[in-house]
Amino acid sequence: MEGREPKVAFVAILNKKNHPIVLKNFLVDAIRQNYTDLSQEEISSLDLQMKMLVYQTLDHFEEKQKIKGAQVQAPKQGFLAESTYQGLIIEAFVSQYQLDVYGYISNTNYKYIIIKNETKTTPLGQKPADDQVKGMFKSLLRVHTELLLNPFFEPSEGGGVDSELLECYDEDDEDEAKEGVELSLSQQHGNQRYTDVLLHKINDTAIFYEKYF
SS3 sequence, the chain? CCCCCCCEEEEEEECCCCCEEEEEEHHHHHHHHHCCCCCHHHHHHHHHHHHHHHHHHHHHHHHHHHHHHHHCCCCCCCCCCCCCEEEEEEEEEECCEEEEEEEEECCCCCEEEEEEECCCCCCCCCCCCHHHHHHHHHHHHHHHHHHHCCCCCCCCCCCCCCHHHHCCCCHHHHHHHHHHHHHHHHHHHHHHHHHHHHHHHHHHHHHHHCCCC
Confirm whether 72 is domain-assigned. Answer: yes
Confirm whether 94 is domain-assigned. Answer: yes
State residue 186's pLDDT score: 43
Confirm whether 2 is domain-assigned. Answer: no
State residue 54's pLDDT score: 92
pLDDT of 167-188, one tens digit each?
444 444 445 544 444 444 445 5
Provide the whole-model pTM.
Answer: 0.75
Confirm whether 104 is domain-assigned. Answer: yes
Confirm whether 1 is domain-assigned. Answer: no
Mean pLDDT of 136-157: 82
Confirm whether 42 is domain-assigned. Answer: yes
Taking the alpha carbons of 75, 77, 83, 84 in that order, is the dihedral positive or negative? positive
State residue 23's pLDDT score: 94
Confirm whether 189 is domain-assigned. Answer: yes
Question: In this structure, what CATH number is given to the domain that contains residue 138?
Answer: 3.30.450.70
- Residue of 104, 90, 101, 157 lying closest to 134 (CA atoms): 104
Angle between helices 26-34 and 40-71 (to 10 degrees): 160
**How many whole angstroms separate alpha carbon 130 and alpha carbon 206?**
16
pLDDT of 3-36, one tens digit each?
578 999 999 999 888 889 899 999 999 988 886 6
Q: Rounded to 5 degrees, what are φ and ψ at 192?
A: -55, -40
Q: Is the pLDDT of residue 209 over 80?
A: yes
State residue 143's pLDDT score: 92
State residue 27's pLDDT score: 93
Mean pLDDT of 150-155: 72
Q: Is the pLDDT of residue 158 over 90?
A: no
pLDDT of 73-125, one tens digit each?
544 555 455 458 888 988 888 888 899 999 999 888 889 999 999 876 555 55
Q: Tell me which residue range forms the domain holding 147.
A: 8-209
State residue 193's pLDDT score: 75
State residue 211's pLDDT score: 86
Number of structural domains found in the chain: 1
Confirm whether 77 is domain-assigned. Answer: yes
pLDDT, greater one: 109 or 155: 109
pLDDT, greater one: 199 or 148: 199
State residue 38's pLDDT score: 78
Phi-psi region of 209 (alpha: psi -120 to 50; beta: other; left: phi over 0): alpha
